[in-house]
Amino acid sequence: MTRHPHLSDDQLAEVYLHSAPMEAERQHLERCGLCEARHADLAHLLAEVTVVARADADAACSPERLDRQKSAILGHIERDPHGRVISFPAGHTRTPEPIHGHPERRWIGGAAGAGLVIGLLGGHFAQDLPSLGTFPSQASQPVAVAPLQAGPPGTV
C-alpha cells in the first residue's frame, strides 16, 4: 500500500488546529513545498475568518454596552438573587405586530365559523334526504297499531 504523496485538507486542518504534535505531518510539511503553501493558505484563511467573526460580534456590542450589561447583571443579583432575567436594555425592544388581533381570538372565531357551516350543511342534507337511512321495505310497511280498548269513563 503506497502512501498518498500529499497531506489531505483534513490533515492540514488537524495540523493547524491540533495542540498535540503530529510529527509525521509536520515532517512532511517541512519537506513538501506544495503542502506547506496549502497549510499557509489555510492558516491565513482561518485567521482572517476568526478576526472578522469576532469583529462582527464586537461591533454589535460596544464596550459601553458591555458596561451597561454588567451593571444590569450585578444589579439583578443584588436585588433578586433567585429570579430570572429580563429583556435588556429596556429601550429598543422589538414589538411584533399582530397580524389580525390576538391569534387566540382568530382561532376561536375560525372554529365558531366552521362549526356554523358544518351545522347548516348537515341540517340541509338531513332534511333533503330523509329516507337514506331507512330500508324501502321498512318505509312502506304500515305500522300495526293495537286497537285501543275503551275503558269505562273516568278510568285512566
Residues making contact with other proteins (CB under 8 A): 9-10, 13-14, 17, 19, 42, 45-46, 48-62, 64-66, 69-70, 72-74, 76-78, 81-89, 91-99, 103
Q: Which of 51, 116 has the CB closer to other proteins?
A: 51
Q: Which of 99, 148 has the CB closer to other proteins?
A: 99
The set of cell numbers assigned to 24 is 509525521
Q: Which of 70, 124 has the CB closer to other proteins?
A: 70
For the bound state, the minimum distance from the C-beta of residue 23 to other proteins, rounded and expressed in Å, comes to 18
Question: Cell 297499531 maps to which residue?
Answer: 145
The number of beta carbons lying within 10 Å of the beta carbon of residue 29 is 20
For the bound state, the minimum distance from the C-beta of residue 135 to other proteins, rounded and expressed in Å, comes to 52
For the bound state, the minimum distance from the C-beta of residue 32 to other proteins, rounded and expressed in Å, comes to 20
Cα distance between residue 152 and residue 120, in whole Å: 50
The one-letter amino acid at 142: P
- Phi-psi group of 101: left, alpha or beta (phi > 0 → left; psi -120 to 50 → alpha; rest → beta): left
